[in-house]
Structure formats: structure tokens, C-alpha cells
Amino acid sequence: MNGADSLVATLITGGVEVCFTNPGTSEMHLVAALDQRPELRSVLTLFEGVATAAADGYARMSGKPACTLLHLGPGLANGLANLHNASRANVPIINIVGQHATYHVPLDTPLTSDIEGIARPYSKWLKTASSVSLLGQDTAAAIEGCRTPPGRIATLIVPTDIAWSSGGTVGQIAVPPKAPLPATATIEAVAGKLKKARNSALLLSGNTLYGEGLKTAGRIAAGTGAKLFAPYPFTRLQRGAGTPPVERMPYVLEQAVDLLKDIRVLVLVGAAPPIAYFASPNKNSAFTSPECEICTLAKPEEDCAGALEALAAVLGVGHTPPCTEPPQGTSIPTGAITLSGIAAAIAALLPENAIVVDESMTSGRGILPGARGSAPHDFLANTGGSIGIALPLAVGAAVACPNRRVLCLSADGSGMYTLQALWTMAREALNVTNVIFANGSYAVLKREFSYLGVGDPGPRARDLMEINRPQLDWVSLARGMGVPARRITSLDEYAQGLREGFAASGPTVIEIPL
Amino acid sequence: MNGADSLVATLITGGVEVCFTNPGTSEMHLVAALDQRPELRSVLTLFEGVATAAADGYARMSGKPACTLLHLGPGLANGLANLHNASRANVPIINIVGQHATYHVPLDTPLTSDIEGIARPYSKWLKTASSVSLLGQDTAAAIEGCRTPPGRIATLIVPTDIAWSSGGTVGQIAVPPKAPLPATATIEAVAGKLKKARNSALLLSGNTLYGEGLKTAGRIAAGTGAKLFAPYPFTRLQRGAGTPPVERMPYVLEQAVDLLKDIRVLVLVGAAPPIAYFASPNKNSAFTSPECEICTLAKPEEDCAGALEALAAVLGVGHTPPCTEPPQGTSIPTGAITLSGIAAAIAALLPENAIVVDESMTSGRGILPGARGSAPHDFLANTGGSIGIALPLAVGAAVACPNRRVLCLSADGSGMYTLQALWTMAREALNVTNVIFANGSYAVLKREFSYLGVGDPGPRARDLMEINRPQLDWVSLARGMGVPARRITSLDEYAQGLREGFAASGPTVIEIPL
């Protein structure tokens, strides 16, 4: 068994089932090893930023790490921006990055680079393999590294001579570490504050935004009157009729401050204190009022759902029925295109158990609140603020959940970052309905420009926020990558497009001119 | 004057005329400063990998640095792969990267990252600005840093509060340092070896592959019989009738070994010893025969053209007419599409003084040799082996040389990496004729797989080298970004497409199905 075979065998032993990749020459032995083991499915992408975001989406929906297989420093570099987002999503990912043969590196040929240096900013676990006999163990350590709670990025760099040499052995993988519970004193202290406070809230994150964790949060909300909040950049949020209602923090500082103005106790459950993405001259960045006490129930690396359960027990609400969202009406709007109509149509037509991936930016801010009483679904957001995540995140979510429908909402500017994801959707026949909000501008920047006190943008500044010269034609772009597409001109056509998309076998694109 | 104004004013003082950018919120004050100074032209890109390669292309053709303006760590990360290529091209580039306000960084909001860590692998000069009063000087130092011979990447990170605070001053820029000549003894030693050697060659790089440097090389070749070679990954090569003929090293090891087998003295002029990109099991990577003596006339950071001139003087060939390529016939091939026909049509139709940007990979290996006697032109190659450079490199070359025609040759797989460049070509009405070699595969990998001794790829491995499922449709992709396009079905249509492209105002795309 050569090194490459031992690496792939160890990945399989460790439960890794999918590899999102764009390999190059230095990865050919790893490709050969993958070829022999069909139980590890390889998904080809045309750009590495698609591979890394797909691994993120896969982890969000499956709870398991996928691996990426990337070509040397530049291949990793192309995946870095979406690893930034993944690092903020606290998901497990294993990057396998090829390297020149150990004796070839000092020759400094054109593709040589400091791969560890490129990996370091976003890799919590990082190693260059140094011996074929240890490569299996290195791979096992990478799997353990990425599974360290709450989920981390691990990068294993594999020189080709270590991949091609014989003498590999399959690595032994330790039982994944369990996230620890917070101290009992912490839980009791939080319970005491919640009992006393008139206006309290939980700011939820991680596994308290879906499943049992969210149900427990709903019991606490029902029993104590505490409100439930999610950060603006959440990893995964369960929504819809019958689910405990969670309010997302607004992106805009003033709206967030208004939402939290009466809260006097804010309990962080795996979340960071809520503050604005960006500083502005002479503005405070905090969302909470100075009178609000912020206390931490659980840190991201602790067992957040378990902490909520313990808190519910202390509060005596462990069997209280959780508060739930009532179902909402399903009238489908018609007529001219409006942002509220777009949101309403989604709310009405969303299939049961759908996954919504959202990077619709300014155009889509009404969609999440609008769909609160829809059929139950999961909602995935951009966690790190690096645009260009939605289309490839949808790839990963669809690979993880082949029996669920994926609705991918993307702004046009964001979508252009990683539009190559559409090709992988077509290739893998993924059931993704993509909606492109084509407002022809980086609208968020227009607002921020004034908001930062810079004044009104002059013509040359405004020109850098307009992407409608020339107009992007998403119908052509999608067809160029084998995805059927339509441009809608009314809400009626839009609803029809959604229906067809949700019924289709494989991906579709709906362009909404705004 | 605020910090942003002082930065932009210093760039202008330092002769920076173009900014390739995709700005975000943290760059809004810099955008406002650019708005006030139209003499620094901003060119918007939809993806940062386009911006960095465009800066590379601009520098190759103008000899001057452009700046990029990038959004935080992720924006820089997206530009990194083409900075890898630029670092291997030895061109000057100044990256201006926005950062959160100094007091906002510790809050670790979603877009926070280790920007210096991301920049370090490819930045020879790197600094985070720490005071508004010094920002102008920092900018001046960045300009000096990138101009350090032979040309380097400088990255200046600018916290927003330093950009928006008042108290900026314009930085003073030192006279650019001149590259030093090699020691006289070195030059005389090389001259001695060339006089004695029967089979000698110069391996040229940097400014000895065009202009006066190349002419001097041609005199030495004419006077001594030395052959002239360029590395496979050259930055810029002047070609065509009347130009000293330079042979490019082949990519394939065996072909390169065959080319160099009789050479007994190889003189490096700014070039590295010629070796294969990748190691292969049980193969030597060196191109030269063991009997070949490799000696260095000039290092990349020395004055290579000056060293050649001094060498020519010592050899007594300073006034010898340079060897030159004779003009070649101009018959235009017709009929079915063949790779040799494609090369011949380019050779025949290339306009005087064109710039050819080449990343046609396996499909286009006959184009450079085929066009040796064409109308004089410059040829730009991928210097670092990170694919996805051609389309944006052409953007930069066209911005640098608005009166010259650009022919951009891209493989389909490579082109998909940074296809967003087509949109910037349309927006800026750049005269670029793009030819896409659509073979529907990563053909280079198919060869390398067997070459590396892995055997024949099995079905799952082969699947990772095929990008024709689904078929990419470049006519649709180009139209989606506002670029007129056609798919040709014969060499006649191809010649017609080239003629129309070279006469067009603005970009065109020709897809060649292979």
C-alpha cells in the first residue's frame, strides 16, 4: 500500500464520504487512490473556492467533515476565501493539499510556494507529511483535528514522493472528543439571572439553532419569557411552522440596537457578543444597550445544546412545551416584481424540509422573516462575510441531503465570485433552484459609503458600485454551464419558476431583474 | 487631507496610474479619495483574481506598477493565486488592502482575519499602516519596495480609521534603485567560456527577452554561435520577423533534454537552471546533460540587459548585427480544424505589434514556434503555473497598451478559473480577441497521470480530468458578460473570426471545439 492509498483508506475509516476537488499533477497518486475506493465520492469543481464552500455546506447539513483535494499553494489559495467563511461557521473540513516531492521543493520550480504559510491563517490543524509510514497516522490526526469541537479546519500537506512511496499503513482514529459542558456554577448563575430579569434573551449559535438544541431553547423561552435570537451570520437555522421562533440580528446597526434596546440580560449560547461588522466614525459598534448585562452560558467549543438542557432543568422547564411558530397563510403574490412579493412567494411555495442557502444581500433581507411560518426548513447564511459562498454552499448541502430540495438565493455581485458552482450542480444533477437577484449593483456599498460619513459618492466612486455596465445575463451564464435558466418579468412567472425548479430533476436558475 | 487622500496622492506622485479593484466597505474612504483624482484610473473587476493578474499584465507591458485595492483578508486571498504567478514574473505590484479600524480588530467580527499572514507568502514588502501621519510615507515605501529590482509585490494594509482620520501628508519617493551590474570578473569569466565552447547557449529572462536586451543577445548569438533560449515560464518575449530568434524550453522533460543534449556551456541571464516543473518517480528533473556547465552571468535582481551589453563588449560583438528571424510566408489554412492550422492562422493574421497572452496549455504548444516569423509582437506566458491567468492578464496588457491589439489564448479549463475577466474587457472596451481552446478536458493531467507511473487512469480518475459533462458553452458564457462570441467549425471561420476580432472595437470571443 503506497502513501496515497493509506491516506484514502484512513479517510474512509474515519467516515469521510465525499471529496470536493480540483486536482493537479502533484495529486495524481491521490486521484489514483480515490479511483480504487468508490465509497469516497469525488466531486469535481472548476475552481477551488467552489470546493471549499461545498465542503462547508456539506458539513453544515451532515455534521460530518468532507475533504477537499487541492493543487499546491495556488489551489489552496483559491479556496481560502471560502475557508474564511467556513472557519467562522465552525464546521469540520479536511484539506488535502499536494506538494512537490520533498527533494524537488528546494529546486524552487515555478509552482513552489510556502503552502504552510498560505494554510496557516485558516487552519487550526496543520501539518506537512514527512514520512510514508506515518501518513496514515497524520491523516487520522487531521480527522481528529477537524472534529475538535465545535469543528475546525485541518490541512494536511502531502509531498508527492510520500504519496507514491510504498510502506503506507492505515491510521487509527480515536473516538471523536465530546464537547464539555460548562461548569454547573455557570449554568446556575445564568438561571438565576434569567429568573430575575424582566427582559431577557438567549443569543443562540451552533447546534442550538436546530434540532433538540433549538427545542430546548424553545422550552426556556416558553417557561421564562426570554426571547430567542440568532447572530446575523449563523451557520444553520431551523425555521418554519412548529419550530421555536428565532429572531435574526439585523445587519444594520441602528435596527439591531432598536431590537435589543429593552433587553437587560443577554445570554450567549455559543455566540459572540453582538456587534456591527464594521466600525464607523464616531459610532459605537455594540448592539446591546449599556444597561444590558451580557453573560455566557456556553462557549462555541462547549456542548451548547447540553448546556441549554442543563439550564432548562435548573429552571424547571425541561418538560415545558416549547414555544412554536404557527403556520402562516399561503397566498401567492402576483403582478409586478417587488422584494416583498419575492419573499412572500418563497414563504408560500417552499417545499417541506427544504434547505435555503442565502446570500441575497440587500435584496433578500425580507426573506428570512417572511418565511418564519412556512413549511419547516433549514436556512444557511454567510458566516464570514466573504461574498461568493451561496452557489457552492448549495452544492455541498445538496450533496449532503440528496432527498431534500435546495433553494439558493444569491445576489448577482456575490454570485459572480464562484459562478462555476453551477457547472458542478449540473454535473452532479443536484436539485438546487437558484434565484439570482440581479440589481446590477453592489447595493450594500452604496449604503455603507454614506453611512461611513464619506458623503455622496461621486461619479467615479459610484461607478465602482455598479455592475450593470455591461449588464450581466444570468440566463446565458447558466446555460453556458449546462443549467436551464429563465429571466422572469412578473411575480406570476417567478412563482411558476419556483414551482418548476422545486419539481425539476437537477438544477435551475431564475434571474430576477431588479 | 485624510489618510486615504494622502495614500492616493502619494501613489500618483509615485507614477501609479491604474488601480485594479473590487472594493468593499472597509475601502470606502479610499474609493472616495480615488473619486477625487481621475488621473489614477480605477478598473473594476468582479473577482480579485482578475485584479491581481491584470496588475501583472499591466506591469509586464508598461514596466510600471499598478495598484490593486482589495477588501480585507478574503479579498486578498481571492487574488493570491495570480499573485503567485506575478511573484514568479518578477513584476512590481502594490496591493492596498483595507483592514478594520484598529480598535475594531480585537472585537473579532466575522470579516476579521490575519491579513498579514495571508499576504506574507507572496509579499516581499509588507506593512500594516499604524498612523495617519505616516501613511503617505508607508505608501512611498511600498512603491519603493515594489520597484526593488527585478520587481516585487508590495502589500500595504490600511485600517479604516487611519484612512478616514485627518492629518495625512504626501509621501516622498526616492529615485527607484538601479539594478547593479554583475562583477566584471563574472562577465569576463562567462566571455571566456563562450569563446572556448563549441556548443553554447544563453538562457534569457527578464528584460533580455525584449527590446535592447534581446538585441544585444542577438549580437552575442551572431558573434559566438551561442543559441538563445527562454524558460518555459517567461514573463515577456518579443517575437517575429526582424527579432533575434529565441527558442522556448519545452514543458515536457524529454523534449527539453533533447533540445539541450549537445549544449556544453549554458549561461543563465536572470534565469534559473532549467528543470522540470514536477518530479517523477525515478526520473532526473534536470534538462541539461551532465556534461553541460551551467554558469550565471546575472541574477534576476541584477541588470541583466546591462550585463549582456558588457558581455558583448568583452566578446567584441557590441556592433555585430544581431541575428534575426526572417519573415515567414502568410498562407492562411482552410478546412477542418487542426491544432497546426490554428497556429498557422495566428502566424499569418497576427497584427503588427500585437500582444499575445498564452495559456492555451496542451492545445497551443505549436503557436509560439509557429509564429516566430510573424509580424513583430510580444508574447506573455504563465510564469507560475497557477492556471487562470490568461484572460485577466490580457485585461492588464490591454489597459497598458491601448493602441495595440491583444490576442488572448486560453484553454477552457484554465479560462473557467477567472472568466469574470471578460466582463471587465467589455466594460473597458478593451481590444482583446479571446480564443478558447475547448477540448473539454484537463488534457495535461491525462498525460501526467501515466507519466508519473500511476498507470492508466480508471473511470473515476478519468472523470476528474474531463470537463465536458456538461459541455461548457463559451459563446453563452461570453454573451452573459457582454462580449460578442462565436463558435467556429472550420479554419475558414476561425480566420474570419480572428480578422473580425482584430478589427473590432472591444473584446470578442472565439470558441474552438476540439
Determine, for residues A276 and B109 on separate chains, whether the beta-carbon distance falls below 8 Å.
yes
Q: Which of B25, B470, B479 lies nearest to residue A427, judging by beta carbons?
A: B470
The interface residues of chain A toward chain B in range 327-386, judged by CB-CB distance below 8 A, are 383-386
Q: Which residue has the higher pLDDT, A455 or A402?
A: A402
Determine, for residues A23 and B459 on separate chains, whether the beta-carbon distance falls below 8 Å.
no
pLDDT at B328: 87
The interface residues of chain A toward chain B in range 129-168, judged by CB-CB distance below 8 A, are 160-161, 164
Q: Is the pLDDT of residue B512 over 80?
A: yes
- Helices B304-315, B211-224: axis angle to 10 degrees equals 30
The per-residue pLDDT of chain B, averaged, comes to 97
Contact B221, B243 (CB under 8 A): no
Report how far residue A53's alpha carbon sits from residue A59's, in angstroms, rounded to the nearest whole number.
10
- How buried is residue B500: exposed, middle or buried, by Cβ count under 10 Å (0-12/13-18/19+)? middle
Report how far residue A459's alpha carbon sits from residue B224's, in angstroms, rounded to the nearest whole number.
59
Find the mean pLDDT for residues B107-125: 98
Q: How confident is the model at residue A455 (pLDDT cuts 50, 70, 90)?
A: confident
Q: How confident is the model at residue A60 (pLDDT cuts 50, 70, 90)?
A: very high
Contact B12, B40 (CB under 8 A): yes
Find the mean pLDDT for residues A32-42: 97
Report the range of poorest mean pLDDT among A176-190, A403-417, A445-459: A445-459
Q: Which of B25, B104, B121 lies nearest to residue A117, judging by beta carbons?
A: B121
Determine, for residues B46 and A100 on separate chains, whether the beta-carbon distance falls below 8 Å.
no
Determine, for residues A472 and B420 on separate chains, whether the beta-carbon distance falls below 8 Å.
no
pLDDT at A330: 76
Q: How confident is the model at residue A176 (pLDDT cuts 50, 70, 90)?
A: confident
Phi and psi, residue B101, nearest 5°:
-55, 145
Q: How confident is the model at residue B505 (pLDDT cuts 50, 70, 90)?
A: very high
pLDDT in tens, B199-214: 999 999 999 999 999 9
Adjacency order of strands within the sheet including A406-411: A237-239, A377-381, A354-359, A406-411, A432-438, A508-513, A485-487
Report how far residue B139's alpha carbon sits from residue B69's, in angstroms, rounded to the nearest whole number.
13
Half-sphere exposure of residue B44: CA atoms within 13 angstroms, side-chain side: 22
Report the range of poorest mean pLDDT among A258-267, A365-374, B505-514: A365-374
Find the mean pLDDT for residues A342-367: 95
Q: Is the pLDDT of residue B318 over 80?
A: yes
pLDDT at B329: 79
Q: Is the pLDDT of residue B330 over 90?
A: no
pLDDT at B168: 98
Find the mean pLDDT for residues A91-117: 98
User: Quick one: which of A73, A85, A87, A66 has its CA closest to A20?
Assistant: A66
- The string of DSSP letters for B460-511 reads HHHHTTB--SSPP-HHHHHHHTT--EEE-SSHHHHHHHHHHHHHSSS-EEEE
Residue A59 grid coordinates: 458539513
The interface residues of chain A toward chain B in range 204-223, judged by CB-CB distance below 8 A, are none
pLDDT at A345: 96
Report how far residue B367's alpha carbon sits from residue B498's, in angstroms, rounded to the nearest whole number.
14
Report the range of poorest mean pLDDT among A128-132, A242-246, A499-503, B330-334: B330-334
With CA atoms as reference, the chain A residue closest to B27 would be A449
Report how far residue A14's alpha carbon sits from residue A121's, in angstroms, rounded to the nearest whole number.
25
pLDDT at B374: 96
- The string of DSSP letters for A373-439 reads TSSSEEEEE-SS--S--HHHHHHHHHHH-TTS-EEEEEEHHHHTTSTTHHHHHHHTT--EEEEEEE-
As for the ipTM of the complex, it is 0.98
Q: How confident is the model at residue B358 (pLDDT cuts 50, 70, 90)?
A: very high
- Residue B102 CA to chain centroid, in angstroms? 35
Q: Which of A42, A121, A272 lies nearest to residue B117, judging by beta carbons?
A: A121
Q: Is the pLDDT of residue B83 over 90?
A: yes
Residue B108 near chain A (CB below 8 Å): yes
User: What distances in angstroms separate CA A419 from CA A24, A53, A477, one per listed residue?
Assistant: 21, 12, 8
Pairing between strand A377-381 and A237-239? antiparallel
pLDDT at A375: 96
User: Quick one: which of A112, A101, A110, A171 has its CA closest to A143?
Assistant: A171
Report how far residue A355's alpha carbon sits from residue A351's, in angstroms, rounded to the nearest whole number.
9
pLDDT at A450: 85
pLDDT at A454: 85
- Please give the model's pTM, rounded to 2 decimal places: 0.98
pLDDT at A177: 82
Residue type, B265: V
Q: Is the pLDDT of residue A132 over 80?
A: yes
Residue type, A75: G
CA geometry: angle B237, B242, B246, nearest 5 deg = 40
Q: Is the pLDDT of residue B94 over 80?
A: yes
Determine, for residues A36 and B458 on separate chains, whether the beta-carbon distance falls below 8 Å.
yes
User: Quick one: which of B248, B423, B429, B242 has its CA closest to B327?
Assistant: B242
Phi and psi, residue B10, nearest 5°:
-70, -40
pLDDT at B447: 87
Round to the nearest angstrom and report the end-to-end CA distance of chain A: 57
Q: Is the pLDDT of residue A265 over 80?
A: yes
Contacting residues of B for A461, CB less than 8 Å apart: 31-32, 34-35
pLDDT at B456: 86
pLDDT at A307: 98
pLDDT at B159: 98
Determine, for residues B449 and A281 on separate chains, whether the beta-carbon distance falls below 8 Å.
no
Residue B125 DSSP SS3:
strand
Find the mean pLDDT for residues B48-62: 98
Residue type, B451: Y
Determine, for residues B480 and A457 on separate chains, whether the beta-carbon distance falls below 8 Å.
no
Select from A34, A78, A280 the residue whose CB has the most chain B CBs within 10 Å, as the one to mutate to test that interface: A78
**Alpha-carbon dihedral A313, A315, A321, A322, rounded to 10 degrees:** -100
- The string of DSSP letters for A56-99 reads HHHHHHHSS-EEEEE-HHHHHHHHHHHHHHHHHHT--EEEEEEE
CA geometry: angle A260, A262, A266, nearest 5 deg = 60
Contacts of residue A503, Cβ cutoff 8 Å, sequence gap at least 6: none
pLDDT at A451: 84
Residue A174 near chain B (CB below 8 Å): no
Q: Which residue has the higher pLDDT, B507 or A454?
A: B507
Phi and psi, residue A333, nearest 5°:
-70, 155
The interface residues of chain A toward chain B in range 251-310, judged by CB-CB distance below 8 A, are 272, 275-279, 281, 285
A264-288 in b/e burial notation, b at 16+ Cβ within 10 A? bbbbbbbbbebbbbbbbeeeebbbb
Determine, for residues B452 and A164 on separate chains, whether the beta-carbon distance falls below 8 Å.
yes
Find the mean pLDDT for residues B56-65: 98
Find the mean pLDDT for residues A139-160: 97
Percent of chain B with pLDDT over 90: 95
User: Quick one: which of A234, A504, A283, A285 has its CA closest to A393?
Assistant: A234
Percent of chain A with pLDDT over 70: 100
Q: How confident is the model at residue A223 (pLDDT cuts 50, 70, 90)?
A: very high
Q: Is the pLDDT of residue A406 over 80?
A: yes
pLDDT at B177: 82
Contacting residues of B for A117, CB less than 8 Å apart: 117, 120-121
Ramachandran quadrant class, A269 (left: phi over 0; alpha: psi -120 to 50; beta: rest): beta
Contact B55, B20 (CB under 8 A): yes
Round to the nearest angstrom and report the end-to-end CA distance of chain B: 57
Half-sphere exposure of residue B19: CA atoms within 13 angstroms, side-chain side: 27
CA geometry: angle A246, A248, A252, nearest 5 deg = 160
The interface residues of chain A toward chain B in range 420-479, judged by CB-CB distance below 8 A, are 420, 423, 426-427, 444-445, 448-449, 452-455, 457-461, 463-464, 467, 469-477, 479
Contact B397, B406 (CB under 8 A): yes
Q: Is the pLDDT of residue B236 over 80?
A: yes
